[in-house]
Structure 1
Amino acid sequence: MTGNEFRFFLSCDINLPVTFRVERLEGNLPSRKSSNSENGTPEEDRRPELHVECALYIDGAQFGLPTRTRLESTGPPYCWNELITLTTKYRDLTAQSQLAFTVWDVSHRADEGLIGGATILLFNNKKQLKTGKQKLRLWAGREADGTCPTSTPGKVPRHERGELERLEKLVNKYERGQIHPVDWLDRLTFRTAEKIKECENSQNGSSHLYLVVDFCSFEHRVVFQETGANFLLPSPIASTNDIVIVWDPEMGKTNPSEHKQLKLARSLTRGVIDRDLKPSSNERKSIQRILKYPPTRTLSGDERQLLWKFRFSLMSEKKALTKFLRCVEWSDVQEAKQALELTGKWEMIDVCDALELLSPVFESEEVRAYAVSVLERADDEELQCYLLQLVQALRFERSDNSRLCHFLVERASRNIEFASFLRWYVTAEVYDPAYAKRFYCTHEILEENMLKMATDAHGEDGFKLWQSLVRQTELTAQLCTVSREVRGTRGNTQKKIEKLREVLSGILSELTYFEEPIRSPLAPNVLITGIIPSESSIFKSALHPLRLTFRTANGGTCKIIFKKGDDMRQDQLVVQMVSLMDRLLKLENLDLHLTPYKVLATGQDEGMMEFIPSRSLAQILSEHRSIVSYLQKFHPDDQGPFGITAACLETFIKSCAGYSVITYILGIGDRHLDNLLLRDDGRLFHVDFGFILGRDPKPFPPPMKLCKEMVEAMGGAESQYYTRFKSYCCEAYNILRKSSNLILNLFYLMAGSNIPDIAFDPEKGILKLQEKFRLDLDDEASIHFFQDLINESVSALFPQMVETIHRWAQYWR
């Protein structure tokens, strides 16, 4: 069929009976209070028994006898889901044919049993047969009227229609196959539609009753035509010869009979029957396809049954365990018992898969304990990469005193750096009212165990060790006080800097020299002994962050930025992911010279970060006109490319490639030249991650931040250095795609956190992250895909206009 053809059926050629399905009644029944009762039972206490009377009217006259559904008394909601087939055929209908539906309650007297009625035309104003679900508003206390025009139209008036009706029409098209399905997007759309439905119902109240009826669908549209018209058309549809495709409204729903059969089959095969079963070639391919699913993918009934059937033969494949545990009916005691027995004998899984078992999907305490036993094999360095998510996983434990909690505390008692970060991660979550008790309990267990371990193992020195961590809290409290005083000072930035130095060296002089060294919250292995007031300053911004220079116990200094009034947990998460991805790339021998500076949220609206000497690209371009001119100042080389050393240019290219890939995967938005920084050695890095997972305050953002000035610094789009940049991007992208399950699992564990861009819609954010990996492509196809992304980003004109407007705004500010 060509694109210009339009295929349809004529109603006069369809020799099939009129068929439709009465589904359900939506809304609350009106309350009935009557003292008259034959058996003495008040009628208001009786359970309603409802049926729907269906009658066909042709040109205002009833045609044939009315048909009734069965009695339904198990609601609300009242669901008949009953298929009604009339004796009249489609070829006998006229353009003014109507169906009249009246709902009756037989539990009341005849004069009180009428609930309401509604009428609907079978053909629309374009003379096309109506198909799919129709939602009819009932006229309370009135029988459906089949006259022309009817006095009980089921169609909602146009001025009363809301967003919900438009969504229901789209769902109708989707269920009939007229909208292409997209698995992850469909789930989000249906969830949003449910929220809109709940919202509209709460606003409109329950003043109306609606009857949902599902009309039969055909392969093509059905257009009304009277019998006997002389048209040269395809042969008519016969009820005995031709096959007509009719949409099944129960498609995709659980079949109760099939579900019961599967349970019986599982009960028969719990013993030794399945032990020797081996999958066929096609079954093996299906299993391998399932094992490659991302952790966010929901398994279908057939897939779950397939994995259960061959569970014994899959025990040697460690990647299969998490998928197998998703197949278990945990409500079945015997099945759950067998699953746990097999788990203990399964090939030991990797740490990244153990993280999946700590997600909210798995509620079994035994499964979560097994996951912790796998984590015990990881060393402190690897475990610290996931510590932020492991603390969040405490939300999904069934008790405050869980095995995961004790495992983290036990590790902390052996590693002071681990203990410091654990303490701060827990402290930042104590403010969450829903889980305050759980995190407070963890904090208390950590305090008790650490103090006991430190005292028993190291005596007085151990006690001082632990006290150095406790004093971190005192330090941050003092810095909050300093920050408030500085912000409250009237005057320009210089006045505020003078106030900061006065406060540090005067009123709170204990900040200049600490009585005892304190472990730096950002780097617990570093002991800090005080602040140098003369080298401390503030940044020119709304919150006036403090830039503090600390003395260290070894005679050196370290600089940190302290912010009060800003939630830094999102920045903390992004920098953690940058650090993790840097580690994953280096394990594949690809060092892209990233700068994963340290960030630590010490509360809901406060935190600190490592200060990296650098300058923004906006400042560099303003003073030096180009990135190359700036790098020539620090790494000149007349023999090198563009007058700079080859090593410096290579560092710049690699860092640009690394952050281009990472910011694309994490969907980092609000990228402009003020939050792209460049170090003297050529390393470029990003800061300020207020928008992630696809959110962006600017319209039409490019897929990744790659401005023309960065391309020019590589010699332009035709240079060999730009080609090398694209090669590094594609290599890094494929390496990170291999670890997509790990990254997705880590974000899945953050689903319950209060991080703004995750808490807004956790499932949507994780699915958008999954989409960025393009797991449907092989390595070669993903290279072509990413190269197209780079070209699209470089050629994007609108972001350049936005960047220019941003520079003007900064200038006038």
Structure 2
Amino acid sequence: MPSAPDEAQAGVTTRTADHSSCSGGKEFRFILSQDISLPLSFRVNRFVPDRTLLIERSAPVLFVECTLYIDGVQFGLSTNTRLKSLGSPYCWNELVTLSAKYRDLTPFSHLAFTVWDMSSGEDNIYIVGGTTISLFNSKNQLKTGRLRLRVWPNKMADGSLSTSTPGKVPKTKREEIERLERVANKYIRGQIPHIGWLDNLIANAADKLEKESERTENLHSSLIVELCSFEHRVVFQEYGAKLHTSVPSSLVDISKNKLVIACDPEIGRINPSEHKHSVLAWSLARGVNDREMKPSSVDRKLIQNILKYPPTRTLNVDEKQLLWKFRFYLTSEKKALVKFLLSVEWSDIQEAKQAVALIPRWESIDVADALGLLSPVFQNEEVRAYAVGVLERASDEELQCYLLQLVQGLRFERSDRSRLAHFLVNRVHKEENGFQVWQSLIEQAELTAQLRSIMKELSNVKHDAQTKGRILEQLFSGIFSELKNFSEPIPSPLAPTVLLDGIVPEESLVFKSANYPLCIAFSTVNGGTSKMIFKKGDNLRKDQLVIQIISLMDRLLKSDNLDLHLTPYQVLATGLEEGLVEFIPSISVAKIIQKTGSIKSYLQKCNPDEDGPFGITAQCLETFIKSCAGYSVITYILGIGDRHLDNLLLQDDGRLFHVDFSYMLGEQPHRFAPPSPPMKLCKEMVEVMGVNTMQDSSPTVARHTTYYESPATSY
């Protein structure tokens, strides 16, 4: 569900209405719509068609047109989602941001959604249906959360005040799943009390009902959207209007049951006397230029606490003045530079000059700290140039850990010819010819486009994975036969140092999965084989980010002499819902348990040793325990969800690793799923460690649990 940024960043003021005199001392905290300068955003989740569409249209290619209407008149241009053609339900999960801001809305603002079908070509677009939803309810409160909207077949969405395509239907005509969606929204907003044991029971039943509704033929088409949520309720107030302040109970005339409204026109304005005093005090404190001044023990303690603040924490006035006062003393502390630059008043030209002049005298900072100076918080070109200078001293291996963030940093540069842009381009050309780099990128893009075409051909075939595998081999022998031997070797998109000279059809296959990903085997110029997986229908950008974090964690752990045998395989997102993944020879824990009964039996078969613990080589057992500990801690820190045994893979040498990171930071695949355990550690894993439960206090468990404590302490 899309959520609003921090209220302070959005310029939002939280209001409190005190109803103590009439509602038992309860407070109603809310935000006025006029205070929200953020653009209107929402997420188009998925479209669930009815039986008519599935019968009439064999292979629809759908997109959703989103339009905002204010007071019955279209406001701004319409926005379209991407095309979707993988079959029912059609899931976009796409965030849409309009040009209008929340403060521009009125109580009669509507969002109109029209579903179109382009399967017959751009010249013959078919209207699937439309639906309209009001953004404010009858109490003039902004609607939030997940909504299931009824789609009216063969009608464009009507954005007029008396719409003919209402997404909200009367209670008497709602289906059970629609009623469930509305109750779930109230539960998420806290309008229904949370009862732990009862919530888990209801969640399982609700999840089952939702799955059944998607499997069965629906009587009505529906579009599921998620509106942006804020910390408090958003109440409509016209932009520019003044809010009446809360009234003391002494002003309430109880005898006449009337409320006397008192409005203070000075509320919200700056007090000129206080403002002038604060400016003078700030100038006085900033005017200290004693280069030999040293902080007292109390000030040193305060400064050390400030240096431990996370990067996103905002410094208050006193903390900024403290850092500025002892700026000369702090030049020997490299960790203090970023905090010092946050304390600078960059709008003051003289102060900015002093700060820039002090940077060269500072102790050289680390690469990780230099990344913080390339964020949008720092717009000064000298500061950003200094950060790039630090990056120039980093090795290619270290820069690889931050490459995604460096490319994103280009968005915050004022010019395309910035120091950061020159640095990235020059670093690429340092060891390779520029023309060869671009030629390789073009060849890789063409290869990806051909794999995309193969995936599209297979998606039109309604068979199992084994049959699709035979068809894949026929395609390589037919219309895609040129892929068997490339005219010139192509650098692998996942490992550019590996040169590919063709596809090996005999070793390529189709995985048995929901989206049937391809496992393509390539022959290399040195006579070897390189395998990679091409996936369509998954957002691999999340996987790429998580793997980048795991690679960085692995680097940090090894710098502390702690090798947990992690497997940060390569991932490259080539589109919104497609990409390439490095193939690691392994088998899922679920299949291991199904075939051999336990992980211990599998490791005994792959790494037998009569003298080793449990009949397994000591090195294999150590590798398994360390990798299990490492991924348990990492997935806990990142809040990785959907951790079932099919997403845990095991290599023959005992390395355990996780795959499929579509749900992170506490997300779960099912909306009504009960809270998941903090980390995936099943009894079969614990059994390999030689105990029946992790509560065992034996020396064996004590030695093994140190591997869980070590990475946690390092982070």
Same fold, TM-score > 0.5, yes or no = yes
Q: Is the 8 A contact 1:621 1:627 kept in 2?
A: yes
Deviation at 1:414, TM superposition (A): 1.5
Deviation at 1:192, TM superposition (A): 5.8
Q: Is the 8 A contact 1:571 1:599 kept in 2?
A: yes
Distance 1:121 1:544 in 2: 58
Distance 1:500 1:286 in 2: 65
Deviation at 1:159, TM superposition (A): 9.1
Distance 2:355 2:564 in 1: 44
1:201 corresponds to: 236
Distance 1:134 1:499 in 2: 59
1:306 corresponds to: 322
Deviation at 1:382, TM superposition (A): 0.7
Matches within 5 A, 1:765-804: none
Distance 2:30 2:463 in 1: 67
Distance 1:513 1:324 in 2: 58
2:434 corresponds to: 450
Deviation at 1:195, TM superposition (A): 7.2
Q: Is the 8 A contact 1:602 1:608 kept in 2?
A: yes
Distance 1:525 1:253 in 2: 63
Matched, 1:734 2:713: yes
Distance 2:504 2:31 in 1: 73
Distance 1:517 1:257, change over 3 A: farther
Matches within 5 A, 1:476-515: 476-515=448-487
Distance 1:211 1:193, change over 3 A: farther
Deviation at 1:335, TM superposition (A): 1.3
Distance 2:242 2:388 in 1: 52
Deviation at 1:629, TM superposition (A): 0.8
1:212 corresponds to: 245
Distance 1:317 1:530, change over 3 A: same
2:545 corresponds to: 573
- What CA deviation, in whole Å up to 9, does each residue of 1:167-211 have, x standing for no partner? xxx9xxxxxxxxxxxxxxxxxxxx9647742xx417xx6899852
Distance 2:342 2:439 in 1: 45
- What CA deviation, in whole Å up to 9, does each residue of 1:97-116 have, x standing for no partner? xxxxxxxxxxxxxxxxxxxx
Larger Rg: 1 or 2? 1
Matched, 1:725 2:689: no
Deviation at 1:401, TM superposition (A): 2.7
Letter matched to residue 381 of structure 1 = E
Distance 1:377 1:262 in 2: 42
Matches within 5 A, 1:345-744: 345-416=361-432, 450-451=434-435, 463=436, 467-697=439-669, 698-716=673-691, 717=694, 718=696, 719-735=698-714, 737=715
Q: Is the 8 A contact 2:532 2:581 kept in 1?
A: yes
Secondary structure, counterpart of 1:691 in structure 2: coil
Matched, 1:343 2:353: no
Distance 2:272 2:298 in 1: 28
- What CA deviation, in whole Å up to 9, does each residue of 1:4-36 have, x standing for no partner? xxxxxxxxxxxxxxxxxxxxxxxxxxxxxxxxx
Deviation at 1:397, TM superposition (A): 1.8
Distance 1:288 1:538, change over 3 A: same
Kindly indicate which of the two structures has a greater share of residues assigned to helix. Answer: 1
Secondary structure, counterpart of 2:350 in structure 1: helix
Distance 1:407 1:251, change over 3 A: farther
- What CA deviation, in whole Å up to 9, does each residue of 1:79-127 have, x standing for no partner? xxxxxxxxxxxxxxxxxxxxxxxxxxxxxxxxxxxxxxx9x9995577x
Deviation at 1:591, TM superposition (A): 0.7
Distance 2:475 2:581 in 1: 21
Q: Is the 8 A contact 1:660 1:704 kept in 2?
A: yes
Distance 1:596 1:253, change over 3 A: farther
Distance 1:393 1:511 in 2: 37
Letter matched to residue 699 of structure 1 = P
Letter matched to residue 560 of structure 1 = M
Distance 2:536 2:28 in 1: 57
Deviation at 1:708, TM superposition (A): 1.8
Secondary structure, counterpart of 2:575 in structure 1: coil
Distance 1:255 1:317, change over 3 A: farther
Matched, 1:296 2:331: no
Secondary structure, counterpart of 1:551 in structure 2: strand
Distance 1:261 1:377, change over 3 A: farther
Secondary structure, counterpart of 1:470 in structure 2: helix
Residue in structure 1 matching 2:336, options 308, 320, 324 = 320
Q: Is the 8 A contact 1:133 1:215 kept in 2?
A: no
Q: Is the 8 A contact 2:303 2:323 kept in 1?
A: yes
Deviation at 1:722, TM superposition (A): 3.1
Distance 1:492 1:123, change over 3 A: closer
Distance 1:134 1:685 in 2: 45
Matched, 1:264 2:280: yes
- What CA deviation, in whole Å up to 9, does each residue of 1:591-621 have, x standing for no partner? 1111111111122222111111111111111
Distance 1:296 1:512 in 2: 51
Q: Is the 8 A contact 1:134 1:213 kept in 2?
A: no
Q: Is the 8 A contact 2:142 2:236 kept in 1?
A: no
Distance 1:398 1:159, change over 3 A: closer
Distance 1:651 1:335 in 2: 55
In the comparison of the two structures, how many residue pairs are matched?
495
Residue in structure 2 matching 1:278, options 288, 294, 303 = 294
TM-score under structure 2 normalisation?
0.64
Deviation at 1:566, TM superposition (A): 2.5
Unaligned regions of 5+ residues in structure 2, if any? 1-11, 33-136, 144-185, 191-227, 255-265
Distance 1:666 1:121 in 2: 41
Q: Is the 8 A contact 1:131 1:214 kept in 2?
A: no
Distance 1:383 1:206, change over 3 A: closer
Secondary structure, counterpart of 2:303 in structure 1: helix
Deviation at 1:280, TM superposition (A): 1.2
Unaligned regions of 5+ residues in structure 1, if any? 1-76, 78-117, 137-157, 171-190, 218-223, 225-249, 417-448, 452-462, 738-813
- What CA deviation, in whole Å up to 9, does each residue of 1:346-373 have, x standing for no partner? 2211111101111122222221121111
TM-score under structure 1 normalisation?
0.56
Q: Is the 8 A contact 1:135 1:210 kept in 2?
A: no
Deviation at 1:263, TM superposition (A): 3.6
Secondary structure, counterpart of 1:559 in structure 2: strand
Q: Is the 8 A contact 2:625 2:704 kept in 1?
A: yes
- What CA deviation, in whole Å up to 9, does each residue of 1:744-777 have, x standing for no partner? xxxxxxxxxxxxxxxxxxxxxxxxxxxxxxxxxx
Secondary structure, counterpart of 2:236 in structure 1: helix
Distance 1:530 1:619 in 2: 31
Q: Is the 8 A contact 1:585 1:591 kept in 2?
A: yes
1:10 corresponds to: none
Cα root mean square deviation, aligned:
3.6
Q: Is the 8 A contact 2:631 2:658 kept in 1?
A: yes
Distance 1:268 1:545, change over 3 A: same
Q: Is the 8 A contact 2:373 2:387 kept in 1?
A: yes
Deviation at 1:679, TM superposition (A): 0.8
Q: Is the 8 A contact 1:135 1:211 kept in 2?
A: no
Deviation at 1:565, TM superposition (A): 3.0
Distance 1:195 1:339, change over 3 A: farther
Distance 1:555 1:305, change over 3 A: same
- What CA deviation, in whole Å up to 9, does each residue of 1:328-348 have, x standing for no partner? 111111111111111232221
Deviation at 1:270, TM superposition (A): 5.6
Distance 1:253 1:532, change over 3 A: farther
Secondary structure, counterpart of 2:470 in structure 1: helix
Distance 1:376 1:207, change over 3 A: closer
Q: Is the 8 A contact 1:486 1:500 kept in 2?
A: yes
